[in-house]
Structure 1
Amino acid sequence: MHQYRVTKYNPKLRNPDGTYPAEEWTSRADIGNSFGGVCLTREEYLRVEQAYLDTAAAFLSEAGISELTVTGLENHRKYPNAPQEGSHIKAEAAPAVLRSLLREDFWCKLESHAAFIHIGYDYYMYIGMPIESKHP
């Protein structure tokens, strides 16, 4: 399996040990706050969020993944539109689930026998695919 970490963070700003010292937003809740002297606007948040969703869809399409299963569901806030544990999500519906994950409405993993997409802490997205991407 080929694994990828998708982030909005500039790799040129990472320290030699891989840490990222720059002040950055990490959540939709940060809209309206300033980071490095720049205010995070709703428009900028939505632009970045859409880039993540487009990237996930492109990986799924490239790998020919048509369906993922919801695993490890955590819905402590009782978000009404959360999928059910074990439900099958068609690839074309995955961006809607991922949007909710990025917005911290609930948490889960999307997995299949050949692929996975997880949203991690600090706005990281982890993707595993059975093929090496031509566009990492």
Structure 2
Amino acid sequence: MFSWRITKYNPKNRDEKGCYLDKKEWTCFSEVGTKVSKEDYIRTESDYVNAITTFMDELGVNKLYLNALEMWSDEVKSQNVSPFLSKMWVGKPISAQEIKELAKLTLRNVIWCKLSSKNKFFVHFGYDYYMYIGTNMDSPNARKKIEATGLYVEEFFSPYLD
């Protein structure tokens, strides 16, 4: 299985242990308006969401399955997404549009989820705007397209593998 960490964080700003050193960098949705403008946040969030569909397109995957789901009730209420989330359950096949919404909600710390398509593809989310994607085949075109948006694609095993 091929596996990558996809982030907005330049690998050149990491120490020898891999810790990111730029303390001025924003790391979550709650920093919109203080460390990051709404426009810059939305652009970055869109790049992450599109990274998922870029890999899916290269692999010919049109749906994923919801493998894990955690919700934080205060955030669900504040983002007004209860109707959408009431239709989600572990094991459910997820359409491309639902994947985009779940990714957005995860990046905004409303939920946490893991998505996959058997042994072909997975998406995991970590803290501080880290995303992990794994595929059963190399995906050079997807990686190139994602890097063209300004995101970094590094070979890395997901810490959220079962």
Match of residue 127 from structure 2: 121
Q: Secondary structure at the match of 1:94?
A: helix
Q: Does 1:33 align with 2:38?
A: no
Match of residue 103 from structure 1: 108
Which structure carries more helix by proportion? 2
Structure 1 stretches of 4+ moved >3 Å: none
Q: Distance in 1 between matches of 2:121 and 2:2?
A: 9
User: Counterpart amino acid of 1:111?
Assistant: S
Match of residue 77 from structure 1: 73
Q: Which moved more, 1:7-16 or 1:42-51?
A: 7-16
Match of residue 133 from structure 1: 139
Match of residue 13 from structure 1: 13
TM-score (norm 2): 0.75
- Give identity over the alignment, percent: 37
Please, which runs of 5 or more residues in structure 2 have no aligned partner? 77-81, 144-162
Match of residue 60 from structure 1: 56
8 A Cα contact 1:71 1:86, kept in partner: yes
